[in-house]
Amino acid sequence: MRIAVLADIHGNHAALEACLAHAEQQGAEAYWFLGDYVGELPCPERTMACLYAWAETHDCTFIRGNKENYWLGALDTSLWQRGSSTTGVLWYMNRRITVRDRAFFAGLPIARVMEIPGLLAVTICHGSPRAVGECLVPPGDTAQDVMEAAATPLILCGHRHRQAWFEHAGRRAVNPGSVGVSLESGGKAEYMLLEGVDGAWQETMVRLDYDVEQIIREMREEDLFSIAPCWMRVTVGVLRGMNVSQAAALRRTMALCEQGEGVCEWPDIPEKYWEMTCRELGV
């Protein structure tokens, strides 16, 4: 049994297509998707169309990530504005997600235990089995408690966009990296092949080249550099292999804002602080 495990696509349809083609060539018989299907990148309908079509002809299991919760009303959409590096992409995405997408996301569980005959059961989730935004790999503050309570010895999780694993209390959590917005990979598309060999699970991490520049061209065509100017400059840096995440750039920008204004409350961040972050990062 060979399974492709794909996390954090974030709307990168070019990276997704590269991973799916590779997995099929490697003889994958099932596909487990760990959430965050669309996010910062242009034309989310291309990613969703690819996933819907793949699921019609392949054995696919989907669970929900934190991004899916954004599109299901977890955040106050009245704060999202075109032209803001902090919320512009959320504004764009909210207009592009369809009724079908929202219904699909609403039907997804945040975790599932996968039972494969002759092999140990596996938990799949986005953050942790109990929360989409929690981190197991690399371990966050609560990772040890979560591991001790886990229902299976192997847990597959995404969210941190890095290929890594963490072991605790006889359990192993593995992150297959990010299909669409990987960190610390030199700008590759990442996923994992999981194979049952002699009754045990064997993991193979995969990193692939794909057409990064196609996605950057689509950003321009979709006007994303005016919709979320500095956020997109940081995103281009990440796609081309910069080792600073968008979340880290946001934290830096908020720290600069607090220094300059005495206070910083998301999403009220003047663009000049985003400009300062971009200058620091050289993007």
* Residues binding Mn ion (CB under 5 A): 36, 65-66, 159
Q: Which is nearer to Mn ion, 6 or 257 (CB)?
A: 6
Closest contact distance (angstroms) between CB of 159 and Mn ion is: 4
Closest contact distance (angstroms) between CB of 91 and Mn ion is: 19
Q: Which is nearer to Mn ion, 220 or 251 (CB)?
A: 251
Q: Which is nearer to Mn ion, 67 or 273 (CB)?
A: 67
Closest contact distance (angstroms) between CB of 39 and Mn ion is: 8
HEC states along the chain? CEEEEECCCCCCHHHHHHHHHHHHHCCCCEEEECCCCCCCCCCHHHHHHHHHHHHHHCCEEECCCHHHHHHCCCCCHHHCCCCCCCCHHHHHHHHHCCHHHHHHHHCCCCEEEECCCCCCCEEEECCCCCCCCCCCCCCCCCHHHHHHHCCCCEEECCCCCCEEEEEECCEEEEEECCCCCCCCCCCCEEEEEEEEECCEEEEEEEEECCCHHHHHHHHHHCCHHHHCHHHHHHHHHHHCCCCCCHHHHHHHHHHHHHHHHCCCECCECCHHHHHHHHHHHCC
Q: Which is nearer to Mn ion, 66 or 277 (CB)?
A: 66
Q: Which is nearer to Mn ion, 159 or 171 (CB)?
A: 159
Q: Which is nearer to Mn ion, 119 or 246 (CB)?
A: 246
Closest contact distance (angstroms) between CB of 127 and Mn ion is: 7
Closest contact distance (angstroms) between CB of 52 and Mn ion is: 21
Closest contact distance (angstroms) between CB of 277 and Mn ion is: 21
